[in-house]
Chains A and B, each alone.
Chain A
């Protein structure tokens, strides 16, 4: 049976080239891992090798404790009570908004809390649709997650009914999984009102040239929306530097709780944007005949918000800031390069997306000749290795790649080269079983 190649075993780092750097690097992942209780647990008496952080990340102890503290010590509805407990909860909720705003270089009232990327993008599609006119178009890419595709597609479909005929265009990808920028220039024209792109592909790992797309969109008077669900956990995000108008992400992929997400919008734009949901908290004054609405961000946060979620997410952000996003990016890039290298040298494996780790994040999709991705994922699970097998909510992209699905191993700051070694060994074993 196949076992790890000895030179790649973690306990013999002296066998590596550039041993010193490697050792430091291995320590980074190991150190971070200590903060994640679930990674200390054993599943079926095996340690958990979690390679599905693109689906959802694990949570550090600090976040779990912040949630517990909130529920045990200051749970109350926000913006409503006059009593001290409610004030404390309100302050914590608004402070969370402040921390998250600073994290992406935005202003506090430019941060709308939603339940995740999906809701953020639906909110935008709904609210922006009011501004669209007959003959306008929306530009997306072939590598979008369903949540940045279906809302726009349905908006366009709806627009046919009221004679607006909004067109949706898709920027093509190149053979190595990058955006075809020549095609982007063809797609984006003076009738383009919205360009909405993923910052990092959740299938190919590709990091898209958002700045360039922002300039291109703005030259034609279009807005640029960025789906940052996959990029925010892995790199420094500065909305001003990116030049985007809107940016969406999910808390649960960012080491925070589920059910909380963010929509950033430039303040001038949020001021003009109509609300998405109506109800309590988002109003200014209500009469039986009509209502006036609060200013952003409250205008977009109808109903009791996810207070614990926001507080937990802010804690996750503070945790990341302590580690330093640059350090995370550097560590993960080396890990990604290592994983790509190990996979690329195997027989019968096709890796999708840019071959160069510098142009991508640690989302690595591949297929194994003769083994369906579901079978791979199931066999790997028997060795305690969590990977995804399937279409990763990007069915149209699968069509472009000419496959029904792929296996996806996605890396995070708590993964190590040892995890990758185990992945490779388990793939060898699966290949052997199917041979």
Chain B
């Protein structure tokens, strides 16, 4: 992407040289990410950056390619083109080159799924312990010490329980710790999935529509949790979200995708008043209109539009 286009599109365009909208240290740099499925171009030359200690929201209508971006980042898909650089304290990782599960294991990118993927017949606590698998595996001497019941492993397990307990307390799930995860109410399952991702001790957290299907109270709890993770753990969060009140309320930086292309990139204020975004969400014939107070109304309009598209 050339400098002219960046200038032409003003503040809401990609400018990888400058500071990230919303501030913060760069944690992730996505450059020219393209993903094709046969003839379908799900993502078309998308570039953006995400910062540490900030919430970067990725929004866009259904089928815009948001989940596909996550799948490329977390090693589930191999991008057709693109460079995905994670700036890790241990050094730089090129995520597009890392084999699936190693993204979480080595690079420390954790994710949740659009349709919840817990281990339903295991207990809540077990879900959080499984998330600390690699650490515990090393502590158990790849099972040998563990079988012998050595102290070293038991201590590591106690520590793992402590970490799990910490996140249980933060997600208000402590009382349900010994219940089967599959029996939890929907909202609790969503928060448990976040807690499980945090138990892998990541450097970047990718959440795919964590607020989908939540009632207002549960949604509020989730927002508080995400802000806690951002502020207290200085964690960079990538957040896919449809609910505009959530997006506008908690994100520091927003990337807007439409039909696989990035159409806007900036702080919530910039994106909210970006004509391209309004067009994408309300259709071509709508006049420019600040999103502002009517965000909720526009969001439902956008949803209806989505359903039409789908």
**A and B from one complex:** no
Binding site for B on A (CB under 8 A): none
